[in-house]
Amino acid sequence: MTDVTSSLNCSESTSNADDCVRTLTRKDFQSGREVRWCPGCGDYSILAQIQKLLPDLGIRREKFVFVSGIGCSSRFPYYMQTYGFHTIHGRAPAVATGIKCANPDLSVWVVTGDGDGLSIGTNHLIHCIRRNVDVNILLFNNRIYGLTKGQYSPTSEFGKKTKSSPMGTIEQPLRPIQMALAAEGTFVARTIATDPAHLHETLEAAARHRGTSFVEILQNCRVFNDGAFDTLVGRDADEDDRIFLRHGAPLRFGPGGHKGIAERNLAPLLVDLETEQAREEELLVHDMKAPSPALAALLAALEPPHFPMALGVFRDVEKPTYDELLMSQIESLIGQRGQGDVDDLLNAGTTWEVG
Amino acid sequence: MTDVTSSLNCSESTSNADDCVRTLTRKDFQSGREVRWCPGCGDYSILAQIQKLLPDLGIRREKFVFVSGIGCSSRFPYYMQTYGFHTIHGRAPAVATGIKCANPDLSVWVVTGDGDGLSIGTNHLIHCIRRNVDVNILLFNNRIYGLTKGQYSPTSEFGKKTKSSPMGTIEQPLRPIQMALAAEGTFVARTIATDPAHLHETLEAAARHRGTSFVEILQNCRVFNDGAFDTLVGRDADEDDRIFLRHGAPLRFGPGGHKGIAERNLAPLLVDLETEQAREEELLVHDMKAPSPALAALLAALEPPHFPMALGVFRDVEKPTYDELLMSQIESLIGQRGQGDVDDLLNAGTTWEVG
Amino acid sequence: MGELVGDGKELVQVEHATVRFAGDSGDGMQLIGGQFADLASMTGNAICSFPDYPSDIRAPAGTLGGVSGYQLSFGDHRVTTPGDAPFVLVAMNPAALKVCLPEVQSGGIVIVNQDAFSPSDLKKAHYDANPLEDGTLDDYRLIPVPMTRLNEEATLDSGLSKVQRERCKNFLALGIALWLYDRPLQPLLEWMMKKFQRTPEVMAANAASLRAGYNFANTAELFRVSYEVARAKLPAGRYRRVTGNEALALGCLVAAQRTGRPLVYASYPITPASEVLHELARHKEFDVRVIQAEDEIAACCAALGASFAGAIGITGTSGPGLALKTEAIGLAVMTELPLVVLNVQRAGPSTGMPTKSEQADLLMSMYGRHGESPAVVLAAATAGDCFYMALEAVRLATKYMTPVLLLSDSFLANTAEPFRIPDSSTLPDLQLPSKPAADQFVPYRRDPQTLARPWVEPGTPGMEHRIGGLEKENETGHVSYDAENHRKMVALRAAKIAGIANDIPLAEVVGPESGDVLVVGWGSTYGAIAAATGEMQREGRHVSHLHLRHINPLPRNLHEIFPRFQRVLVAETNSGQLKMLLRDRFSAEFCQLNKVEGRPFLIREVRRAIQEVLSRD
Amino acid sequence: MGELVGDGKELVQVEHATVRFAGDSGDGMQLIGGQFADLASMTGNAICSFPDYPSDIRAPAGTLGGVSGYQLSFGDHRVTTPGDAPFVLVAMNPAALKVCLPEVQSGGIVIVNQDAFSPSDLKKAHYDANPLEDGTLDDYRLIPVPMTRLNEEATLDSGLSKVQRERCKNFLALGIALWLYDRPLQPLLEWMMKKFQRTPEVMAANAASLRAGYNFANTAELFRVSYEVARAKLPAGRYRRVTGNEALALGCLVAAQRTGRPLVYASYPITPASEVLHELARHKEFDVRVIQAEDEIAACCAALGASFAGAIGITGTSGPGLALKTEAIGLAVMTELPLVVLNVQRAGPSTGMPTKSEQADLLMSMYGRHGESPAVVLAAATAGDCFYMALEAVRLATKYMTPVLLLSDSFLANTAEPFRIPDSSTLPDLQLPSKPAADQFVPYRRDPQTLARPWVEPGTPGMEHRIGGLEKENETGHVSYDAENHRKMVALRAAKIAGIANDIPLAEVVGPESGDVLVVGWGSTYGAIAAATGEMQREGRHVSHLHLRHINPLPRNLHEIFPRFQRVLVAETNSGQLKMLLRDRFSAEFCQLNKVEGRPFLIREVRRAIQEVLSRD
Ligand SMILES: Cc1ncc(C[n+]2csc(CCOP(=O)(O)OP(=O)(O)O)c2C)c(N)n1
Ligand SMILES: Cc1ncc(C[n+]2csc(CCOP(=O)(O)OP(=O)(O)O)c2C)c(N)n1
Ligand code: SF4
Ligand code: SF4
Ligand SMILES: [Mg+2]
Ligand SMILES: [Mg+2]
């Protein structure tokens, strides 16, 4: 996202006071349009956390841009009192790249879905992450096509029965985190809409990261895939099914943190600390700065029933961003050649005078 | 690829004898069209190895189909005396999926390039691999756009100067192997056109694998990116720059295999066995069947100068294929309902008689 | 003129009636609408019906966004549209009333569930005052019925939970409507038996509600009269109800069966085409191979790959998806492979209004490809016609080795009408041309008759060959950049499509063979134009109707027909796309009727336009 | 009439000459062709030149596939095409001779490097016999020159390696051509000084070769005559040579500079549009932000995103890429954002013939979008015009908030012609309309004059708003599915584009204001049509030329012009796409000249067509 200090500066504030970042509140980010998701949709909680977070980022409201594709999730921008672009199916990362290159000072957010981002839009998502364009990508993963009323998506579990798979799907699901890691994303995290605190902290970390931040948000589709994530958080949750990643901390989970994850031949190993206290120091220690992709890959593949699903930041490393590099090439060339002069350019090369 | 035994059967052989698999030779697979790659292009060697391999697969010639997108590499099908489809840019995996679903008995090969497969075609490549459609995908990676005369590609190294990046690229390259692994490819390998033996053995392993086989073939573009892989194989090769993966064998490389790769906290570690004989048993042992993605991820990220580039099979595991599952759903439903009868279908549901 | 019925109420004969059931998404309006439609059909009426449910994301109960309606029109003669304006509206709540009332005929009957008009209900529908009391309904015959209470009583001892019982309410409303149109309950009760076999108590409760409504209407003297719509003289045969999308799916499936090849249907979900995907996915016992692709590009490419491999490759989508398929369709043109592309049009441009209907993709279907890239373009006229045009699309695609674009739209997709079930043996024969002998085979050597190249799929011994998107050398199919060859191939591809004109039905004029106005339409406007021209013909006007189902190529005989009419009125729900195609080829005096509102024509709109044209000079 | 030259040879005056240099890709033909062109220009001739190098993948040396040619036409009056047929061919090897001979005028001069006709050379060119001896060249004036040997001798003591010296051969050939057309060597020697500054020995060797060729021609009495082409009367000013693609790139860059906004050029490489990408990537000092996207969809979306963010968003491609951009262009139509799409057309359909030229994407540019989706369509007429039309495209896109498709083609892209360098202060002013005050701002409130909505980019305080592809409510821009609103918005979008007709130049008739035939063309056919009609006008025929650069909307005055001519001949290198647009709007007697061979018109082809039309009735 945009350099915070640069936009904290209130001297450039305009007449209408509410543009001064210090005074912004959650309400300032509500567009007032009637929010039109189904009752009980997980998207509401994500909207709430974003509206809660933005005032704290110290960025002037007019610098926020929300870009989305098509899907229930992609209606998001309409509800934000910021600049917004509800584009076409799967293309939001490409549109966002253009926006960021046109004005690197903007805080650009992409909202996409598991179909928008990982079916039709996979190519743009991957290349945006690979280039490390400084945008924040939120992928609402409800493991279903919501807006088109319930076909399976690339993240639907194998064998799932849906309108388009009456006998069950025959496709292995994609793991969004794995894709983002393989594209060498500099910030890759997973959170869940039903845990507002974790959602908020993860979104904030994403916002503060320079370069592409990719956040998979597990989100319940009340109408077409209800309860998909109930075992992770909430009333019917099973603590054995989730593990929260904390940088520098050993991988412990389960009731009272009595379980942990170690490794043998680079394969994950479940450790029950109640029975095997001793093996505590064998536990893997999470390192979101690890240069090698192996740890993150191991964590990304963890899934119930055999292992807990990992929530938190898988990777958070610093690399120059696409937009920075783009502008620095421009500046360095201007440094060498000076600001381009149109007449010089037109008259460059072999020329001759006629009569 | 197609079940070998099923197509070995020569009884179904037709009049023209050369269709009988036993008699096929390399020449039988040469289309006779003038091969139109630049002198010295790496593609020639790949063509030669494929034409050498196919007769040994025990598959009738008419069952081979080569499908490609657009690029120098994608001219490949024209030179094969098999069925071939030179499609449009980036779409070969999608076309191949349709072909395989229409006739699962065919041996379908996709030939693509680093631009065709990983720029415009990334989405189809990933979803084909994810679905484990039983096709063999050969990605000719010359780290450049050859046919369009030398723009950088998604695999070009950071900072590379090309026609479209006169000041050097500002994009981190994609690693094809990483992408294929993240899509949970059941067969993922890397080889190089300048090592015919390794190329041949890798292609053969790919052909024998059921499900999507993904092979990255490092290929020299003589005209627009000459020498890209010279340090790996050939006259100017540096044995420290490459390591050959062998299932079940420790990761040794370098002159006389005096170097090896171990791991600490899931990060690769270089071991010099000449100075530290002792640590030999610390070396990682390659396991292409490993259920966890960590080892493969670690290997896929190895690159000179600090580490050798890995050549060979990263992963080779068995999973049901998309086309198998598709047909088995059809068979099971026919089992339940019997062969569909059109008139029954038309008369299904509420009907009534008039007049 | 009405006759006396037993209990002193009057039974009025009407030719034709339009009824709309409207309520909350959860109220089961689609179900009872469909049942009323079937019942009307079974008892001999001609019918046409149209569901309109809330656009996309489900809105909260009781709100305007959540209203779900089902309109049907039935009569004693051919009925071709769901009707311009309901004569009877059944509204289960204030929101339904608010949404539907504007379309009801003034003087029409409005039956409401008076128990659903509490202040909070009114608020959800943005009513400040209660419309049942503030005169809003003065122009209508208001019939308030305490449906909730009646339903509760009727189902009291069903042994079901309150919630379950509440769900029977829709049958109470249906009962009232059935009495009003003098229909027997028996067939419906039988249907319930089947439908709720496994849950007899649910069955019983629904039946009780149904009877309660019927009896209440009968005894409470709600209505001074009830209406009778006589049987229509319909072609004899066995009928079922189909929507356009169901018919498309059936057509694709049956067509493939008749070619003896597997059907590979590759598609990416999109409103309003998704039901075709859903429907085909349910019939794998017909060797239907459904691929839900990652996007429309992949869907079209997979279908084309399937065609190359010898299957019937079909892909379906709507406007935004068609935009993504154009490059692959161009590849089908160059490789001369059979490919059927279903385009269920919706209102554009861009994402537009996904659930609304429009005919604005015609020129894109004709010309939306780079280079000179001719393809066959067809358009289905009615829901039932979708079935036959799907067969026609497969026939032309396989016989002429060409992509075929078949246009439907959101209106056809959802309209339901009685469909006379054909005996499959009477359907067009889709025998595929036989393959050449291996030693005769040359990939682009054409059949002199059809100009089609041979279709030889991988797996065929001795005929290995390569095709692709680069220009082909005539006959051999080798890559060629030769100028003269290119000229020839462009001409051949064009001639092949143009020649199809000799293999399609001549255009038919319905009405006088010559006269003042010929109304030319295509696609889903059939119903409204047929009704309007039919009425005016009965009134003795010299107005005829010509409906195009083949748009590229056009029927051979148009140049003979147009001159026989003073004016040709081209009616379409776009800004004049067919008109442009016709003007380019024919010189008649063309007039236009265009409507671009995301809605189909009303009959009266077509009438008005014709009258306007008649009144010229 | 010829005059005596010093050494007894004759100097013949000609109005106009066409020369082609042809050799192997490695032979440097493009270089000497370009130098000859510059020299001819500098010495006062009008010129036009066209390189044709091997299509895609590099073919082996000496083969037919590897031939690289450069043709130029120069004269004492306006020259608008590279010439129908060369009068002089310089062939460096048998392959070059074989490829080019068919186009040489019979009686023309053929200069060959006789040292390159060894049996093996002949074999590579598929010559069974030596064409220098077997009478193949009887109809021509053959001038065999031992170029290899002469070059070797001339460069003997240059101190260069044999390979390096071999490379100078092309200048020897150039020397001969310069003598033949009586040109001074001096300017060229000066250019060499600059070009080979850092390698004086290479400079010396090239100069030696050049002189050797010139002197050999002079002394060896190769030619009975040499030719003089007098100065042409060209508009005064400073000139340079530009190709169409260079001019497009310059135009985009300069246009952005004049708006004061950064240029974001997002593109995916494709023949023949890639040079625009390469050229713009070299000028980052003008704050040009070049994005090489992952595909054309991303390129178009990135350009549109950039426009939304207030930059000048431009994307460039060719047919197959345009197919992929259509959905995003539709989004630009709905969101009413400025967007310029360059389409450098190539021969289709599908992958077609990527290096060949055609004008067959016109209808796709007009109608290749779903829904009613109007956009501006422009076409550049000459290489130099590409510069001005790029400015025009940006002017219209930003003033009217609309996507603009600008058509060029492979022929224009590569044609090089002298370009009179404008003083930037004289270029059209591209001032952007000022933004409304925050309290006045409504996203879709239109300027009553232009009907454009305000362009307010993110970062502007107090005007936060949302746009998207769903239908917009008039003024507010909120999502709306309202029928009446949709009708209005469709009409407004159409009216906005139609209204641009009042802001573009009237169509100009070149030649008599009325007469027998008006030849109407668009795009790259300008040169051939201008030359043909010009000739016939000089011959007193009542033939005029009207060239369209604005195709949507069309100039206002066509309906006044067409009736003034007996016939309107629409000439285009496609199957009649512009003709269709014109027939839909105007009733004149339209005739067609169509050529679909992947090649531009020859002047004589246009003449023949006009004559044919003149001879009718
Ligand atoms: C080009 C195109 N193809 C298809 C569609 C139809 N469509 C709209 S949203 C969607 C998928 C939505 O799923 P997801 O991205 O998971 O979003 P969700 O609704 O679940 O939040 C599809 C297929 C479209 N609008 N445009
Ligand atoms: C839709 C489309 N966009 C762009 C092109 C132009 N194009 C042809 S091949 C190619 C890239 C080739 O690179 P790669 O896939 O690496 O193949 P290589 O030539 O290097 O073997 C491009 C951009 C095209 N033919 N079609
Ligand atoms: S359909 Fe599912 S995802 Fe969409 S709004 Fe409703 S609950 Fe949310
Ligand atoms: S350009 Fe490069 S990749 Fe293409 S054929 Fe030539 S050498 Fe091979
Ligand atoms: Mg989803
Ligand atoms: Mg490449």
What is the CB < 6 Å shell around ligand 2? B 70-73, 89, 113-116, 140, 142, 144-148, 153; D 268-270, 296, 320-321, 324
Q: Which chains would you list as touching A if contact means 3+ CB atom pairs under 8 Å?
A: B, C, D
Residue whose CA is closest, atom 6 of ligand 4?
A: B38
* pLDDT tier for residue C8 given thresholds of 50, 70 and 90: low
Q: Name the β-bridge partners of D408.
A: D344
Judging contacts by C-beta atoms under 8 Å, the chain D residues touching residue A20 are none
Check CB contact under 8 Å for A85 and D466: yes
Most confidently modeled of A4-8, C58-62, C107-111?
A: C107-111
Q: What is the mean pLDDT of residues A296-321?
A: 97
Mutate to test the interface with C, among B65, B334, B350, B353 (most CBs of C within 10 A): B350
User: B203 to chain A, minimum CA–CA distance in Å?
Assistant: 24
* pLDDT tier for residue D25 given thresholds of 50, 70 and 90: confident
Q: Of all atoms in ligand 3, which is nearest to the CA of residue C58?
A: 6
Residue D60: the pLDDT is 84
pLDDT in tens, A115-147: 999 999 999 999 999 999 999 999 999 999 999
Residue A110's SS3 state is strand
pLDDT in tens, C369-383: 999 999 999 999 999
Contact D497, D374 (CB under 8 A): yes
Q: Which residues, 6+ apart, have CB-to-CB distance to D34 below 8 Å?
A: D49, D70, D241, D416
What's phi and psi for C193, nearest 5 deg?
-50, -55
Average pLDDT over all residues of chain A? 93
Contact A144 CB / ligand 1 (< 6 Å)? yes
Average pLDDT over all residues of chain C? 95
Q: What is the mean pLDDT of residues B83-107?
A: 98
Average pLDDT over all residues of chain D? 95
Least CB–CB distance from A171: residue in B120, B131, B266: B131
* Closest-approaching ligand to the CA atom of A226: 3
Q: What is the mean pLDDT of residues D165-175?
A: 95
* pLDDT tier for residue C55 given thresholds of 50, 70 and 90: low
- Indicate the pairing of strand C403-409 with strand C16-24: unpaired
Q: What is the DSSP string of A159-226?
A: T--BTTBTT---SPPP-HHHHHHHTT-SEEEEEETT-HHHHHHHHHHHHHSSS-EEEEEE--BTTTBT
Residue C220: the pLDDT is 81
Q: How many helices (H) and strands (E) does chain B have?
A: 10, 12
* pLDDT tier for residue C617 given thresholds of 50, 70 and 90: confident
pLDDT greater than 80 at residue C426: yes
Check CB contact under 8 Å for B352 and C42: yes
**How far separated are the first and last CA of chain B, in Å rounded?**
57
Chain A nearest-CA residue for D438 = A16
Contact A41 CB / ligand 3 (< 6 Å)? yes
Q: Name the β-bridge partners of A68.
A: A86, A111
Check CB contact under 8 Å for B147 and D56: yes
pLDDT in tens, B206-220: 999 999 999 999 999
Judging contacts by C-beta atoms under 8 Å, the chain C residues touching residue D587 are 587
Q: What is the mean pLDDT of residues D109-133?
A: 95
pLDDT in tens, C185-210: 999 999 999 989 999 999 999 999 99
Residue D578's SS3 state is helix
Check CB contact under 8 Å for B292 and A333: no
Tell me which of A34, A38, A143 to substitute to probe ligand 3's pocket, judged by most ligand atoms within 8 Å of the beta carbon: A38
Of A17 and A58, which is predicted with more confidence? A58
pLDDT greater than 80 at residue C4: no
Residue whose CA is closest, atom 5 of ligand 4?
A: B37
* pLDDT tier for residue A15 given thresholds of 50, 70 and 90: very low
Check CB contact under 8 Å for A347 and D421: yes
Mutate to test the interface with D, among B73, B79, B151, B179 (most CBs of D within 10 A): B151
Q: Using CB atoms within 10 A of its CB, is residue B300 exposed (0-12), middle (13-18) or buried (19+)?
A: buried
Q: Using CB atoms and an 8 Å cut-off, which of residues 157-196 of chain B contact chain A?
A: 167, 170-172, 174-175, 178-179, 181-184
Report the 10 Å Cβ neighbour count for C231.
Answer: 12
Q: Which helix (H) or strand (E) holds D205?
A: helix D200-219
* Residue B261: both structure tokens together: 């790769």
Residue whose CA is closest, atom 9 of ligand 1?
A: A71
* pLDDT tier for residue D54 given thresholds of 50, 70 and 90: low
pLDDT > 70 in chain D, percent: 98
Q: How many CA atoms lie within 13 A of D270 on its CB side?
A: 35
pLDDT > 90 in chain D, percent: 90
Contact B105, B149 (CB under 8 A): no
* pLDDT tier for residue C387 given thresholds of 50, 70 and 90: very high
Residue D11: the pLDDT is 87
Residue D56: the pLDDT is 65
Tell me which of A72, A89, A140, A217 to substitute to probe ligand 1's pocket, judged by most ligand atoms within 8 Å of the beta carbon: A89
pLDDT greater than 50 at residue D4: no
Q: What is the mean pLDDT of residues C219-235?
A: 88
pLDDT greater than 70 at residue D85: yes
* Closest-approaching ligand to the CA atom of D352: 2
Phi-psi region of D485 (alpha: psi -120 to 50; beta: other; left: phi over 0): alpha
Q: Name the β-bridge partners of D2.
A: D12
Q: Using CB atoms within 10 A of its CB, is residue C540 exposed (0-12), middle (13-18) or buried (19+)?
A: exposed
pLDDT greater than 60 at residue B15: no
Q: Of all atoms in ligand 3, which is nearest to the CA of residue A225?
A: 2
The ipTM value here is 0.96
Tell me which of B43, B45, B47, B70 to substitute to probe ligand 2's pocket, judged by most ligand atoms within 8 Å of the beta carbon: B70
pLDDT in tens, C325-356: 999 999 999 999 999 999 999 999 999 999 99
* pLDDT tier for residue C53 given thresholds of 50, 70 and 90: confident
Q: What is the DSSP string of B81-134?
A: SSEEEE-STT-HHHHHHHHHHH-TTSEEEEEEEHHHHHTTTHHHHHHHHHHT-S
State the DSSP code for D475: B
Identify which of B257, B258, B227, B254 has the alpha carbon closest to the alpha carbon of residue B242: B254
pLDDT in tens, A262-292: 999 899 999 999 998 888 999 999 999 999 9
Identify which of D340, D370, D343 has the alpha carbon closest to the alpha carbon of residue D359: D343
pLDDT in tens, C537-546: 999 999 999 9
Q: Of all atoms in ligand 3, which is nearest to the CA of residue A72?
A: 4
pLDDT greater than 70 at residue D343: yes
* Closest-approaching ligand to the CA atom of B44: 4
* Residue C74: both structure tokens together: 């039935």
pLDDT greater than 80 at residue A8: no
User: A220 to chain B, minimum CA–CA distance in Å?
Assistant: 24
Least CB–CB distance from B38: residue in D57, D320, D350: D57
pLDDT in tens, C451-502: 999 999 999 999 999 999 999 999 999 999 999 999 999 999 999 999 999 9
Least CB–CB distance from D372: residue in C320, C349, C486: C349
Residue A229: the pLDDT is 96
Check CB contact under 8 Å for B130 and A294: no
Check CB contact under 8 Å for A123 and D295: yes
User: B237 to chain C, minimum CA–CA distance in Å?
Assistant: 38
Contact A144 CB / ligand 3 (< 6 Å)? no
pLDDT greater than 60 at residue C520: yes
From residue D103, how far is each of C245, C356, D398, D563 by CA, in Å? 58, 58, 46, 39
Contact A327, A335 (CB under 8 A): no
**Chain C contact for B33 (CB, 8 A cutoff):** yes
Residue B278: the pLDDT is 84
Mutate to test the interface with A, among B112, B114, B130, B331 (most CBs of A within 10 A): B130
Taking the CA atoms of residue D121, residue D124, residue D130 and residue D135 in that order, the dihedral angle to the nearest 10 degrees is -140
Residue B228 Cα to ligand 4 midpoint, Å, equals: 13
Cα separation, B38 vs D57, in Å, equals: 6
Q: What is the mean pLDDT of residues C209-218?
A: 94
Contact A223 CB / ligand 3 (< 6 Å)? yes
Identify which of A158, B121, C64, B194 has the alpha carbon closest to the alpha carbon of residue D295: B121
**Chain C contact for B87 (CB, 8 A cutoff):** yes
Mutate to test the interface with C, among D350, D579, D584, D589 (most CBs of C within 10 A): D350
Cα separation, C222 vs C450, in Å, equals: 66
Residue type for A336, please?
Answer: Q
Kindly report the length of chain A: 355
Residue A3: the pLDDT is 38
